[in-house]
Amino acid sequence: MRIALFITCVNDLVFPQTGRATVALLERLGVNVEFPEQQTCCGQMQYNTGYPRQAAPLAEKFARDFAGYDAVVAPSGSCAAFARDVHPTLAPQASQDVPPVYDLTAFLTDVLGVENVGAHFPHRVAYHPTCHSSRLLHLGDRPLRLLRAVAGLDLAELPAAEECCGFGGTFSVKNPDVSAVMGRDKIAHATESGAEYLIAADNSCLMHLGGIARREGATVRTIHLAEVLASSKESA
Amino acid sequence: MSGTYVGMPAFPQAAKAATKDTQLRANLTRATHTIRDKRARAVSELDDWEQLRHAGRAIKDRTLRHLDEYLVQAEQAVAAAGGTVHWARDAAEANRIVADLVKQAAAQQSVNSDEHELEVVKVKSMATQEIGLNDALAAEGIRAYETDLAELIVQLGEDLPSHILVPAIHRNRQEIQGTFIDAMGGWGRPAPAGLTDEPTALAGAARLHLREKFLRAKVGVSGANFLVAQSGTLVVVESEGNGRMCLTLPETLISVVGIEKIVPTWQDLEVFLQLLPRSSTAERMNPYTSMWTGTTDGDGPKAFHLVLVDNGRTETLADEVGRQALRCIRCSACLNVCPVYERAGGHAYGSAYPGPIGAILTPQLRGTASELDASLPYASSLCGACYEVCPVAIDIPEVLVHLRATVVEGGRNREQGHGGHRAERAAMKAATWAMAHPAAYRAAEKFATATRAVHPRRLPAPGPAAAWTDSRDLPRLPEQTFRSWWKENHG
Q: What is the pLDDT of residues A142-164, one digit of tens each?
A: 999 999 999 999 999 999 999 99
User: What's the mean pLDDT when you consider all of chain A?
Assistant: 97
Return the pLDDT at B418: 47
Q: Which of A42, A31, A52, A32 shows the shortest CA–CA distance to A7? A: A42
Q: How confident is the model at residue B466 (pLDDT cuts 50, 70, 90)?
A: confident
How do beta strands B226-228 and B233-238 pair? antiparallel
Q: What is the ipTM of this complex?
A: 0.96
Q: How confident is the model at residue B449 (pLDDT cuts 50, 70, 90)?
A: confident
In a shared domain, residues A151 and A107 = no
Number of residue pairs across A and B with CB atoms under 8 Å? 188
Dihedral sign (CA B192, B196, B201, B205): positive
Return the pLDDT at B57: 98
Test the B interface: residue of A17, A37, A41, A49 with most B CBs within 10 Å: A49
Q: How confident is the model at residue B42 (pLDDT cuts 50, 70, 90)?
A: very high
Do A176 and B378 count as a contact with CB atoms less than 8 A apart?
Answer: no
DSSP string, A176-201: HHHHHHHHHHHHHHHHHTT-SEEEES
Return the pLDDT at B1: 35
Return the pLDDT at B2: 39
The last residue of a domain, from among A111, A138, A155: A111
In a shared domain, residues A100 and A25 = yes
Q: How confident is the model at residue B112 (pLDDT cuts 50, 70, 90)?
A: low
In a shared domain, residues A7 and A64 = yes
Pick from A120-134, B104-118, B139-153, B394-408: least confident: B104-118
Return the pLDDT at A234: 83
- Is A32 inside a domain boundary? yes
- Is A158 inside a domain boundary? yes
Distance CA B263, CA B228 (A): 5
Whether B291 shows a pLDDT value over 60: the answer reads yes
Pick from A112-121, B100-109, B414-423, B463-472: least confident: B414-423
In a shared domain, residues A35 and A102 = yes
Mean pLDDT of B370-399: 97
Is A47 in CB contact (< 8 Å) with chain B? yes
In a shared domain, residues A150 and A172 = yes
Return the pLDDT at A31: 97
Whether A44 shows a pLDDT value over 90: the answer reads yes
Do B448 and A208 count as a contact with CB atoms less than 8 A apart?
Answer: no
Residues 125-144 in A contacting B (C-alpha not used; CB under 8 Å):
131-132, 135-136
Task: Give the closest of B380, B472, B491 to A208, CB-based.
Answer: B472
Is A208 in CB contact (< 8 Å) with chain B? yes
The last residue of a domain, from among A90, A111, A132: A111
Half-sphere exposure of B262 (CA within 13 A, CB side): 29
Q: Which of A234, A208, A63, A6 shows the shortest CA–CA distance to B467? A: A208
Half-sphere exposure of A151 (CA within 13 A, CB side): 11
Return the pLDDT at B469: 87
Whether B40 shows a pLDDT value over 80: the answer reads yes
Return the pLDDT at B35: 96
In a shared domain, residues A226 and A137 = yes
| B chain contacts of residue A10, beta-carbon cutoff 8 Å | none
In a shared domain, residues A129 and A220 = yes
Which pLDDT tens digit goes with each residue over B254-284?
A: 999 999 999 999 999 999 999 999 999 999 9
The domain in which residue A148 lies consists of 124-230
Pick from A3-12, A112-121, B434-443: least confident: B434-443
- Is A116 inside a domain boundary? no
Smallest CA–CA distance, residue A178 to chain B, in Å, is 6
- Is A56 inside a domain boundary? yes
Whether A206 shows a pLDDT value over 60: the answer reads yes
- Is A13 inside a domain boundary? yes
In a shared domain, residues A107 and A131 = no
Return the pLDDT at B110: 67
Which pLDDT tens digit goes with each residue over B323-370?
A: 999 999 999 999 999 999 999 999 999 999 999 999 999 999 999 999
Kindly state the percentage of chain B with pLDDT values over 90: 81
- Is A235 inside a domain boundary? no
Q: How confident is the model at residue B416 (pLDDT cuts 50, 70, 90)?
A: low
| Peptide linkage before B264 cis (omega within 30 of 0) | no
- Is A117 inside a domain boundary? no
Is A66 in CB contact (< 8 Å) with chain B? no
Test the A interface: residue of B16, B36, B428 with most A CBs within 10 Å: B428
| B chain contacts of residue A40, beta-carbon cutoff 8 Å | 434-436, 438, 441
Smallest CA–CA distance, residue A48 to chain B, in Å, is 6
| A chain contacts of residue B434, beta-carbon cutoff 8 Å | 40
The residue in chain A having the minimum alpha-carbon distance to the alpha carbon of residue B389 is: A135
Kindly state the percentage of chain B with pLDDT values over 70: 95
Q: Could you tell me which residues come within 8 angstroms of residue B14 by beta carbon, excluding any fewer than 6 positions away?
A: B8, B344, B347, B348, B350
Return the pLDDT at B415: 62
Domains of chain B, first to last: 20-309 (3.40.50.10420), 438-489 (no CATH)
Do A131 and B383 count as a contact with CB atoms less than 8 A apart?
Answer: yes
| B chain contacts of residue A175, beta-carbon cutoff 8 Å | 11-12, 15, 340, 378-379
The last residue of a domain, from among A54, A77, A111: A111
Which CATH number fits the domain that encloses residue A165?
A: 3.40.50.11810
In a shared domain, residues A81 and A47 = yes
The Cα-based distances of B57 to A84, B63, B126 in angstroms read 25, 10, 21
Pick from A215-229, B102-116, B276-290, B461-475: least confident: B102-116
Distance CA B47, CA A24 (A): 44
Q: Could you tell me which residues come within 8 angstroms of residue B272 by beta carbon, excluding any fewer than 6 positions away?
A: B56, B59, B225, B226, B263, B329
| A chain contacts of residue B424, beta-carbon cutoff 8 Å | 49
Return the pLDDT at B111: 57
Dihedral sign (CA B177, B178, B184, B187): negative
Do A132 and B384 count as a contact with CB atoms less than 8 A apart?
Answer: yes
Do A51 and B405 count as a contact with CB atoms less than 8 A apart?
Answer: yes
Q: How confident is the model at residue A183 (pLDDT cuts 50, 70, 90)?
A: very high
Domains of chain A: total: 2
| A chain contacts of residue B12, beta-carbon cutoff 8 Å | 174-178
Mean pLDDT of B128-157: 97
Do B385 and A19 count as a contact with CB atoms less than 8 A apart?
Answer: no
In a shared domain, residues A104 and A10 = yes
Distance CA B372, CA B363 (A): 9
Return the pLDDT at B414: 61
User: What's the mean pLDDT when you consider all of chain B?
Assistant: 93
Mean pLDDT of A31-48: 96
Which CATH number fits the domain that encloses residue A12?
A: 3.40.50
Kindly state the percentage of chain A with pLDDT values over 70: 100
The residue in chain A having the minimum alpha-carbon distance to the alpha carbon of residue B348 is: A178
- Is A216 inside a domain boundary? yes
Q: Could you tell me which residues come within 8 angstroms of residue B107 by beta carbon, excluding any fewer than 6 positions away?
A: none
The residue in chain A having the minimum alpha-carbon distance to the alpha carbon of residue B380 is: A171
In a shared domain, residues A68 and A100 = yes
Q: Could you tell me which residues come within 8 angstroms of residue B142 by beta carbon, excluding any fewer than 6 positions away?
A: B99, B102, B103, B117, B118, B119, B120
Return the pLDDT at B461: 64
In a shared domain, residues A9 and A93 = yes
Half-sphere exposure of B156 (CA within 13 A, CB side): 30
Q: How confident is the model at residue A233 (pLDDT cuts 50, 70, 90)?
A: confident
Which pLDDT tens digit goes with each residue over B54-86?
A: 999 999 999 999 999 999 999 999 999 999 999
Q: How confident is the model at residue B6 (pLDDT cuts 50, 70, 90)?
A: low
Smallest CA–CA distance, residue A133 to chain B, in Å, is 10
